[in-house]
């Protein structure tokens, strides 16, 4: 829509991007034809200077009116994950990994070379064992930054050296960061350089993002994870 601008969460004004909105709708599992129908229905309600929050509220209300309940839940998943607590998100991540046949334990203390470390999740599959760090942010629009990625690598490195010196029984294959937000470009670059596994919103260095992992489940499985994690 020519001349229409949108106010982002940061306060920045940008041109309305129809393709971006269409992509976000299809990401909820709708077909392109269904997504185009939703987009067509919301256009008459758009106005210059609409906030992205109000824009996406309008989208999922329209999806709801079209009786596509499953897709509403998937469309709002990013917002839902931002509203829960850190512990609940850890349980959600553990559930996602277990759906992919990982054997998971969580909340353990592992001895490193210099200090002991509280580990969110240890995920085992075949001959691989991963130190999983879960970073949850209430504001799901912020980025998980380079500092947090570097911290995870430093902890992994200390635990790796601790194993080599016989201080623990855990010989980790790699560190794995899960977060409900996007990762900054510098954070992605560092993680890739260090061969870390990374699963975040929109980006995944393990071949799929958090969003992808959720979409690969059927709606019943998503509901099951939500219930087990006590997400309201």
Question: Most confidently modeled of 3-17, 131-145, 185-199?
Answer: 185-199
Any idea how long the chain is? 232
Rounded CA separation 214/225 (Å): 10
C-alpha distances in Å from residue 31, one per residue of 60, 162, 168: 15, 50, 50
Q: Is the model more confident about 65 or about 91?
A: 91
Give the predicted TM-score (pTM) of the model: 0.70
Exposed e or buried b per residue across 48-66, where buried means at least 16 C-beta atoms within 10 angstroms of its C-beta: eebebeebbebbbebbeee
Q: Which two tokens stand for residue 30?
A: 């709708």
Contacts of 132 (CB under 8 A, 6+ apart): 93, 97, 104, 119, 120, 121, 122, 123, 175, 176, 177, 178
pLDDT at 35 over 90: no
**Dihedral Cα 70, 72, 75, 81, nearest 10 deg:** -90
Q: Is the model more confident about 104 or about 96?
A: 104
Q: What is the CATH number of domain 83-228?
A: 3.40.1350.10
Domain ranges (residues) in the chain: 5-75, 83-228
Q: Is the model more confident about 178 or about 1?
A: 178
SS (H, E, C) 167-183: CCCCCCCEEEEEECCEE
Q: What is the mean pLDDT of residues 215-223?
A: 66
pLDDT at 30 over 90: no
The whole-number pLDDT of residue 67 equals 54
The whole-number pLDDT of residue 192 equals 94
pLDDT one-digit tens code per residue, 68-96? 555 555 666 777 788 778 888 898 899 88
The CA-CA-CA angle for residues 80, 83, 88, to 5°, reads 90
3-class state of residue 211 by DSSP: helix
The whole-number pLDDT of residue 57 equals 81
3-class state of residue 9 by DSSP: coil
Range scoring the smallest mean pLDDT among 46-50, 165-169, 223-227, 228-232: 228-232
Rounded CA separation 213/68 (Å): 20
The whole-number pLDDT of residue 154 equals 98
The whole-number pLDDT of residue 11 equals 81
pLDDT over 90 percentage in the chain? 39
Range scoring the smallest mean pLDDT among 106-110, 115-119, 177-181, 216-220: 216-220
Of 153, 154, 80, 85, the C-alpha closest to 115 is: 154
Q: Which two tokens stand for residue 178?
A: 């899960």
């Amino acid at each position: 829509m020519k001349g229409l601008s949108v106010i982002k969460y940061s306060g920045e004004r940008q041109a309305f991007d129809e393709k971006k909105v269409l992509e976000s709708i299809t990401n909820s599992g709708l077909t392109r034809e269904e997504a185009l129908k939703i987009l067509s229905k919301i256009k008459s309600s758009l106005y210059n200077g609409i906030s992205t929050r109000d824009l996406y509220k309008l989208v999922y209300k329209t999806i709801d009116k079209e009786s596509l309940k499953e897709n509403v839940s998937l469309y709002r998943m990013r917002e839902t994950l931002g509203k829960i607590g850190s512990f609940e998100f850890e349980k959600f991540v553990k559930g996602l990994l277990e759906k992919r046949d990982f054997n998971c334990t969580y909340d353990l203390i592992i001895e490193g070379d210099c200090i002991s470390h509280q580990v969110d999740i240890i995920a085992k599959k075949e001959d691989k064992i991963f130190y999983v760090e879960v970073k949850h942010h209430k504001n799901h629009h912020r980025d998980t930054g380079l500092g947090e990625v570097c911290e995870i690598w430093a902890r992994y490195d200390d635990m790796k050296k601790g194993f080599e010196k016989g201080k623990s029984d855990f010989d980790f294959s790699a560190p794995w960061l899960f977060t409900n937000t996007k990762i900054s470009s510098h954070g992605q670059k560092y993680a890739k350089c260090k061969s870390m596994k990374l699963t975040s919103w929109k980006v995944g260095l393990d071949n799929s993002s958090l969003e992808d992992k959720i979409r690969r489940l059927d709606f019943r499985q998503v509901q099951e994870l939500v219930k087990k994690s006590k997400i309201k």
